[in-house]
Amino acid sequence: MPDGQNRTRRTHDLRVRTLRICTATTVAVAALAACSTAGTPLEAQAPSTQAVMPASGPTAPPHKNRRAALASALRPILLDGHAHLAVAVLDQDSADQQIMSFGQNATFNTASIIKVGILATLLLQAQDEDRELTAAERQNAEEMIRTSDNEAATELWQAIGEAEGLDAAIERLGLSSTYGGPDVRWGLTQTTATDQVKLLRAVFSRGPMAARPPEGLSQTSRAYIRDLMGQIAQDQDWGVSAAGPQGSRCALKNGWLQRSTDDLWVINSIGQVAVHGHRYLVSVLSGDNASMKSGISLVERAARAAVGAASAHARPWPR
């Protein structure tokens, strides 16, 4: 089962830090509440994974070839080991709304990042039925996202119709390279980094979107997902949140899975961070990591490099 080190669904006494996220309203980014990236698990911390602010000073010139710029920023990271990596990033506040990607066509097991997709599917189905989520569905959704509870995810996976239900919903949201896992093995869903940014865009888009329903998520549904992603348990606050400095605005969902065939690790992270007044949607997928610790370090360095490459408002991240 993915995220084998997760809590069971009854560990509500877990200390959950409330992290406010960037809402999809017209409120200025400067007024948004902050979320800290200091909650990385002790066993997963490494000096190289600590968030560092980009150098201040004149802004970097925009890149003519954004894909090449991202590949260049990631090259030193990829030299460090044998893990596989795919990254996608979108600056939501830039006039250029093209998703930057590295490893664009590479597919990975989702592990628990699929829990965002499961919740989006549940909400789309509830919209279609013109109903609110039940109390049981809300409890499962909160445990699934905040503490990455696997039992809660399995119940909702079955409720949405497993892979068939997921595939139908995410197609409506514009994902084209994501396929639900077999039977109840939702963590073996296949996806790409670009598809995960498309999912994030469907969740974190600003303001009312009258053209979305019934095809896409309503404003209420989007706000609900954002709220839960902004309340991740303290020991799971790692990954793309490292792309911002301490106190940066963020919301995220992580996934980790040790494969039984070779004991190597899948480490994934998706979410939104804010740097220098710009909001970035970031997806980092990785496989063949020697350990969970090394995988987290890889994902966090890649997230910082991606935001640095995408930003026209700060110099690239220090290497």
- Residues with Cβ within 8 Å of residue 83, at least 6 apart in sequence: 286, 287, 288, 289, 290, 294, 295, 298
At residue 312, the pLDDT reads 61
Q: Are 301 and 49 in contact (CB under 8 A)?
A: yes
Q: Round to whole Å and give the CA distance between 284 and 192.
A: 9
Most confident of 20-29, 111-120, 204-213: 111-120
Does position 111 have pLDDT exceeding 60, yes or no?
Answer: yes
At residue 317, the pLDDT reads 44
pTM above 0.85, yes or no: no
pLDDT tens per residue, range 28-79? 333 333 343 333 332 333 333 333 334 333 344 444 577 788 998 899 898 8
At residue 40, the pLDDT reads 31
Average pLDDT of every residue of the chain: 80
